[in-house]
Structure 1
Amino acid sequence: MTTIENAWRETTPAIPGVRRRQIQKQYFALGTQIELTAFGTATEADLDDAYHLIQGYEDRLTVNRDHSELMSVNHAAGDHPVQVSASTYALTKLAVAVSRENCGFNAAIGPLVKLWRIGFSGANVPSETAIEKQQVLCDPQHILLDDDNLTVFLTKPGMELDLGGIAKGYIADRIRDLWRSRGIQSGMINLGGNLLTMGPCPLHPDGLWRIGVQDPAKTRGRVVATVHQSACSAVTSGIYERYLKKDGHTYHHIIDPRTGHPLETAVAGVTVFTRDSVVGEIESTRLFFAGHAPKGWVQDNPNIYGAVFVYQDHHVEQVGFANEH
């Protein structure tokens, strides 16, 4: 033990039950409510620094302001490549790779989302002609990446890159990195419903976290299942929070890039439990589009723990959780 450590122990009074001691703060960022919780000897500064990290990523990745790294890429579409920071490039490269798998996730879907505007003012059902025109701008094969120069180039005018479907998970993982570097052993990062827990839960003797799965037919906070799980991420894709009703038909906000229309599915929502939150973002979209878990989905990937499907006919199915649930 160092002299400094000895001095700290001599001047700092013991905190009873310090492992269960928690500090929690709420913030607003990424267009949603943020709740950060850390246990043990974590300080308010640890939470505030995590929030400042969120703000930094939001400044670089947002497409809801005129100026950001991604908006510079979008403004240059069809004209020239744009150099971005290493973190923005790494996330873009991952998003483009997944988009090219044609599994539902598409970082170039922006033109179609803006055409439908579901969940925003001016939401409408566009014509087939308008849909087809925007579909050609949503092909991820037209995104060119240069690893040597860290540049991103959208080759067609009107294309848009939007990492909103993956950014929260990536940012949550970076907060976990930050807290681990400071010796924080347990915590919970809630980015507007995108949840990441770290370490054992100090509130339960078994160390498992209790994570509720939202009931799509009920108000927020009403659950259909509670999963007992060690440190993990929980990410949900669902059709129940943003939708448009017109002429007796309900259109949800998740657009299928293959058709240009909201995805036709029997699934109301799927919550995926993974080790890393960015993987949860990708896999929740993959499963939502698939409508089920592909064969070997859990067994073939140690990063994946399980999923809970809630269908529009209200039945619930669980996949995985063999060692925890």
Structure 2
Amino acid sequence: MASELMAQRHSMVHHALGTKIVLTVYGDQYFPILSKSMKLIDGYEDRLTVNRPVSEVMSVNQAAGKTPKLVSQSTYDLIKLAVHYSRENFGFNALIGPLVKLWKIGFSGANVPSDAAIKDRLRLIDPYQVLLDDENRTVYLEQSGMELDLGGIAKGYIADRLRDYWQSAGVPAGIIDLGGNLLFVGKSPRRPDGQWIIGVQDPQLKRGQNMETVRQSACSAVTSGIYERFLVKNGKRYHHLLDPRTGYPLETDLNSVTVFTDRSVLGEVEAKRLFFNEEPVAGWEEQPGNRGAVFIHNDEHIVNVNI
């Protein structure tokens, strides 16, 4: 059966969510699900993007300091989840948009802002100034200039919804690759034990060249790293992972953290939790849904947790 599925491997490539999407299913009868899945991704992007003037999230941002805005149930659920984790104050912050736009690292006009400008933006990224109304399904940002940006969690949420769709359709095996956010569905046809072989990127080399490989049953693999987007100014390197507690890039000797979790949205959050913690969190791997993690330091020293 596994060899038959291997011969029935189908992939489709699409550009969405600001990245290259690659979806793969095994089984000829499931090929049509790929185009339907791409449409689902586009639908989520239409609602969640902040890179276009019109979306549900943009309607919330444009009404900041003015009025609450009604959003769809899925958008509301994701915003509520993002705000919940933002309030844990470990580095993930869905309100960090004004600070990101100030630094512009990875974009045209990247610069090192003044201390005064950074302090001014810090007042706009407080997750406790987001009012959520479960009954009316509205979101209100209390200060003008505040912005929600779900880019740090949306890919994981969308990957999980695609997996739900594939499982309901009976897809026996597949890979959801949302620009490096990976979610493996079912049992791998490549191995008798059904485990997937997952590569961990070497931060010093081109994408696709791995430093470590991990074997796992169906799971999500998400990486937080500082090796792709950075600014060099006056001989100093500034990466794009801004610490919402200080307004500056996190001072760290880590290069990347890759986490393996049951749910991709959990992976998005936990990769950032471990990266900002800069070392393994005691008992982390014992928490429900957490499988393991790989820490890669700037000197290429590797620390594996439960791998």
* Band of TM-score, shorter chain: over 0.9
Secondary structure of the corresponding residue to residue 270 of structure 1: strand
Which residue number corresponds to residue 254 of structure 2?
267
Which residue number corresponds to residue 281 of structure 1?
268
Deviations for 1:221-263, whole angstroms, at most 9, x for unmatched residues?
Answer: 1111000111000000000000000000000000000100001
1:313 to 289, 299, 304: 299
Residues 227 and 151 (structure 1), Cα distance of their counterparts in 2 relative to 1, 3 Å cut: same
8 Å Cα contact 1:61/1:70 also seen in 2: yes
8 Å Cα contact 2:25/2:31 also seen in 1: no
8 Å Cα contact 2:2/2:190 also seen in 1: no
Residue identity matched to 1:320: N
| CA distance in 2 between partners of 1:42 and 1:316 (Å) | 42
| CA distance in 1 between partners of 2:2 and 2:24 (Å) | 19
How many aligned residue pairs are there?
Answer: 306
Secondary structure of the corresponding residue to residue 198 of structure 2: strand
Which residue number corresponds to residue 117 of structure 1?
104
Aligned ranges 1:118-133 → 2 under 5 Å: 118-133=105-120
| CA distance in 2 between partners of 1:37 and 1:304 (Å) | 24
Residues 39 and 296 (structure 1), Cα distance of their counterparts in 2 relative to 1, 3 Å cut: same
| CA distance in 1 between partners of 2:302 and 2:155 (Å) | 26
Unmatched segments (≥5 aa) in structure 1: 1-14
**Given the alignment of the two structures, is residue 177 of structure 1 paired with residue 164 of structure 2, yes or no?**
yes
Deviations for 1:274-312, whole angstroms, at most 9, x for unmatched residues?
Answer: 01000000000000000112110011x230100000001
| CA distance in 1 between partners of 2:29 and 2:177 (Å) | 17
Aligned ranges 1:1-325 → 2 under 5 Å: 17-20=3-6, 21-299=8-286, 301-321=287-307
Secondary structure of the corresponding residue to residue 213 of structure 2: strand
| CA distance in 1 between partners of 2:3 and 2:196 (Å) | 18
Secondary structure of the corresponding residue to residue 35 of structure 1: strand
Bigger Cα displacement from structure 2, 39-48 vs 23-32: 39-48
| CA distance in 2 between partners of 1:44 and 1:225 (Å) | 31
8 Å Cα contact 2:105/2:231 also seen in 1: yes
8 Å Cα contact 2:64/2:146 also seen in 1: yes
CA deviation after TM superposition for structure 1 residue 16, in Å: 9.9
| CA distance in 2 between partners of 1:263 and 1:219 (Å) | 23
Residue identity matched to 1:250: R
| CA distance in 2 between partners of 1:192 and 1:291 (Å) | 24
Residue identity matched to 2:35: D
Residues 40 and 142 (structure 1), Cα distance of their counterparts in 2 relative to 1, 3 Å cut: same
Unmatched segments (≥5 aa) in structure 2: none
| CA distance in 1 between partners of 2:44 and 2:213 (Å) | 31
CA deviation after TM superposition for structure 1 residue 120, in Å: 0.1
Residue identity matched to 1:154: L
Bigger Cα displacement from structure 2, 44-53 vs 282-291: 44-53
Residue identity matched to 1:311: H
Residue identity matched to 1:222: Q
CA deviation after TM superposition for structure 1 residue 17, in Å: 4.3
CA deviation after TM superposition for structure 1 residue 206, in Å: 2.0
Secondary structure of the corresponding residue to residue 309 of structure 1: strand
Secondary structure of the corresponding residue to residue 256 of structure 1: coil
8 Å Cα contact 2:2/2:189 also seen in 1: no
CA deviation after TM superposition for structure 1 residue 19, in Å: 2.8
Secondary structure of the corresponding residue to residue 284 of structure 2: coil
Secondary structure of the corresponding residue to residue 90 of structure 2: coil
Sequence identity (%): 58
